[in-house]
Amino acid sequence: MTIPLDYETLRVIWWLLLGVLLIGFALTDGFDLGSAALLPFAGRTDAERRMIINSVGATWEGNQVWFILGGGAIFAAWPFVYAVSFSGFYLAMFLVLSALILRPVGFKYRSKKPDARWRAGWDWALFVGGLVPALVFGVAVGNVLVGAPFRLDGDLRMFYEGSLLGLFTPFTLLTGLLSVAMLVLHGAGWLSLKTEGPVLQRVRLYGQGAAILSILLFAIGGLFVAWSGMGYRVDGVIDPNGPSNPHMGGAVAAAGAWLDNYGAHPWMLLAPLLGFAGPVLALLGIRGRRDTLVFAGSSIANVGIISTVGLSMFPFILPSSIDPGSSLTAWNASSSHGTLFTMLICTVIFLPIVLAYTAWAYKVMFGRVTDREIRLNPDFY
Amino acid sequence: MISMAVVELSRLQFALTALYHFLFVPLTLGLSFMLVIMESVYVMTDRPIWRDITRFWGKLFGINFVLGVATGLTMEFEFGTNWAYYSHYVGDIFGAPLAIEGLMAFFLEATFVGLMFFGWDRLSKRGHLLTTFMVALGSNLSALWILVANGWMQHPIGATFNPETMRMEVTDFMAVIFNPVAQAKFVHTVSAGYVCASVFVLGVSAYYLLKGKHIAIAKRSFTVAAAFGLAASLSVVVLGDESGYALTENQKMKLAAIEGMWQTEPAPAGLTLFGLPSNSGRETTHEIKVPYVLGLISTRSLTGEVTGINQLVDTAKVRIAAGIIAYDAVETLKVDRNDLVAREAFERNKADLGYALLLKRFIADPRQADAATIEKAAWSTVPNVPAIFWMFRIMAGLGFAFIAFFATAFAFSSMRRFDARWFLKLALFMMPMPWIAIEVGWAVAEIGRQPWAVDGVLPTFLAASSLTVPQLWTTIIGFTLLYGILAVIEVKLMLATIAKGPERYVPWRPDSPAEPAPDFRAVPAE
């Protein structure tokens, strides 16, 4: 089979698709995580909590597939990244999975019994299922920016020299909190569209706090990245069409290198700009009681903040702090030329179909969850 | 080098999480299609009882479904967390079906399942039936792609080792997708799921009939389950035979272990019904054999030979020797990728590279292996024969029992006789059986693949992540506790829902005038 796209182009496309998947996950399942994290606070009574749960009840399951597809697509397109990150962040990954496992069960089982303790227990399980993944994802991104302590031997077997607690440093906690703030804001944005009454009032309040926190943490995080001596740079000539072997491209740690791309390509500054503009728009929306604007703002915040991380690091995907020569980049960590192309064809065919029926599902479930429906609809959780 | 303790614990965790995940998946596979059948009858006849039937089984489907989804999360990431070297070594091939599964199947299933539960009052009748169908289609397509991935581990075709990237890479993607082993496994596995769901529906219906409750719904469900189960149980055995046929082409060792057959027999070989195989004694004693049958099943001819374990070990020795040449060439190419002599030696022997890796269990550098080490490595290709021998017989025995069971059920339902108490009690007794058959079936397939993670390509002990024993114990205990608690809750909710029984559905409309009674307590019907 002759492949009509060269290897370098396919690697860039798959780097972009990696971003699309992460952003897709944040935009959709992100508000489910945020809503779950808000559940015990924005909803005080059982009926109020059911309003929140049923705001995401019909669609969260499809949203979660972005996460699962993310795992599968990283496996298929960036096998090194899949192998190194998930085995390196082993216990953190276990925390995320345990928390996420609580969600399907929590949504489905919570309202199956009228018992108040049963329901309160599941409410907190759902809270954990929303908060912990949001936090750990952010901490993980912080660690990716700093570089992870791993090395690859001659057979390209990975050895990791960090620990679970080692993942939590002041900077990575900051990125973790930024992730929580951003997703809680997004949850608030979604619930602004879907709820009414006292829940809506509280959601606006929490949304306001999350928006302000997002702006502050994003700014502090940016300053830290700029001045703390963080960053890696490709040293010497690298062949973007070369074989996927991390030992073949020399990378070195270089203070401030995460800002290089913005100097070379000023248009990339659009990403951090959106990262700030999004929460500001959401704030304006909350002030002006314009719920669509809140959700649009929180969505823009997600796109901006996640893109900022990706663009700052390009071509790096996962740098190594103890052996920069083992760092994974867009040029040395991908699948083979043929697999990238085949997977691109599959994506081009199926992703539009997925988006079409997802949009239809949202259309069917369109509208606010009313207090009346909560009490009358036998199909509601 | 990773310690064997880490490897064994990683295997234990994978087995636990996969076996647990697969408690829920078969019911999803089968029940989703039974819901389609029931709802189709509703749409065609317009009789509300069929809607109540669909909704009742749908409720049980939902309780089961969420655990399948929840535990599936672990599976999607476990290759990366616990089998990092595997993920690197074969990710170029193995990752693709997993990604396509998400894109093409799981999105479909998960998006429509929400509408299936929430859409009764928002969709037209046909619209809702379409939604239910999409859930069934999505879950079954999911199984297809997972088994394409698994089939490749059993029969790795369409890929070759690339010394520049130190991994297997795709050469023929169509060969990976249309892998005959994957196709046979897919039909066998989803049919097993249909059997599982049929036994479940039949068992619960039998319970209602015995108790004299919900008779109208129980009889109809009984009828659907009997017909669907009969077709499925025939398919699972016939197409299980197809898997046996496929085995002869590639996984001869698995077939020999299933049969406890140490020596090649003159064709056509006999089928062993009973025997006491032993790995240490390297023989099977007290055999009871049916002449010719194995040869007929597995080679579809009177002259085809079924190879015995001893002969397969001899073949392994030859392949190890060739593999050492390939290994040596790869090491040379690592230093100088333009060494033409090494390149040529590699190309000639690359198919056996995996066999040299078997030596790494005994010696750091396979090139230093002596004859005794090669002998040991060759014998390490023999899996746990007694375990496979017995588990296969349990699975196959249950498979035939299901045919007899559903044939009887079908006869009773055709005669409109739902009062044979002995049979209703038998139906209750049968309820756990499909799960037993399915789990041992999985064990036969995967233990039978040992010592390979990917047959002939990558030994399991090399595939694991470089983790520590405490890390593994943390997650094994963690998953066991979490899964254990969820299992108890799930079973209790299932039983409570069955005890409560089907309900009459009164469609809800946003404009319906009725206000709830003051004591309604905001508890939904589910």
Q: Give the mutation candidate from B54, B82, B118 for the A interface (greatest A CB count, under 10 A).
A: B118
Determine the Cα–Cα distance for residues A135 and B369; give it in Å rounded to an integer. 50
Q: Do A336 and B80 touch (CB under 8 A)?
A: no
CB under 8 Å to B7, separation ≥6 — which residues? B460, B461, B464
Token pair in block for residue B167: 């991994």
Q: Are the C-beta atoms of residues B294 and B306 closer than 8 Å to each other?
A: yes
* Upper half-sphere CA count for residue A15 (Cβ side, 13 Å): 23
Torsion of CA B39, B45, B50, B52, to 10 degrees: 100
Cβ atoms of residues B458 and B452 within 8 Å = yes
Alpha carbons B295 and A269: distance in angstroms, whole number:
70
**Closest residue, chain A, to B55 (C-alpha):** A379
Give the C-alpha separation, B350 to A255, whole Å.
44
Q: What percent of chain A has pLDDT over 70?
A: 99
pLDDT digits (tens, 9 = 90+) for A1-56: 688 899 999 999 999 999 999 999 999 999 999 999 999 999 999 999 999 999 99
d(CA B312, CA B259): 14
Per-residue model confidence (pLDDT) at position B297: 67
What residues in A contact B117, CB-CB < 8 Å? 58, 379
Q: For B323-327, B480-484, B505-509, which range has the lowest pLDDT when averaged over its residues? A: B505-509
pLDDT for B85: 95
Q: What is the pLDDT of residues A196-211, one digit of tens each?
A: 999 999 999 999 999 9
Q: How far apart are CA B507 and CA A227, in angstroms?
A: 62
In terms of CA atoms, which chain B residue is nearest residue A358? B111
**Which token pair is B76?**
């999607």
Q: Which of A83, A155, A374 sits opposite B80 (nearest CB)?
A: A83
Q: What share of chain B in percent tops pLDDT 70?
A: 92
Pairing of strands B452-454, B458-459: antiparallel
How does the average pLDDT of chain A come out, rounded? 93
Run of H or E including A110: none
Q: What's the CA gap between A140 and A88, in Å, rounded?
A: 11
Render pLDDT for B291-344 as a digit per residue (tens, 0 to 9): 767 766 666 666 677 788 999 999 999 999 999 999 999 999 988 888 999 999
Are the C-beta atoms of B84 and B61 separated by less than 8 Å? no
Percent of chain B at pLDDT above 90?
Answer: 75
CA distance B227 to chain A (A): 30
pLDDT, greater one: B306 or B474: B474
In total, the C-beta contacts within 8 angstroms joining chain A to chain B are: 282
Q: Do A364 and B88 touch (CB under 8 A)?
A: no
Q: Choose the closest CB to B96 out of A76, A98, A105.
A: A76
Which among A47, A61, A82 has CB closest to B114? A61
Model confidence band, residue A371 (pLDDT cutoffs 50, 70, 90): confident
**A16 to A13, A188, A311, B441: CA distances (angstroms):** 5, 28, 10, 41
Q: What is the pLDDT of residues B358-391, one digit of tens each?
A: 999 999 999 999 999 999 999 999 999 999 999 9
- Minimal-distance CA residue of chain B relative to A112: B526
- What residues does each domain of chain A span? 30-376
Cβ neighbours around A292 below 10 Å, total: 11
Whether B260 has a pLDDT exceeding 90, the answer reads no
Q: Which of B63, B88, B469, B483 to mutate to test the interface with A (most CBs of A within 10 A)?
A: B88
pLDDT tens digits for A172-228? 999 999 999 999 999 999 999 999 999 999 999 999 999 999 999 999 999 999 888
User: Which residues from chain B sit within 8 angstroms of residue A347, using beta carbons?
Assistant: 103
3-state helix, strand, coil in chain A (%, to 5): 75, 5, 20
Contact B87 A107 (CB under 8 A): no
Sequence-distant (6+) residues with CB within 8 A of A80 are A156, A244, A246, A328, A332, A333, B88, B91
Supply the pLDDT for residue B521: 43
Q: Would you say A19 and A163 are in contact if contact means Cβ atoms under 8 Å apart?
A: no
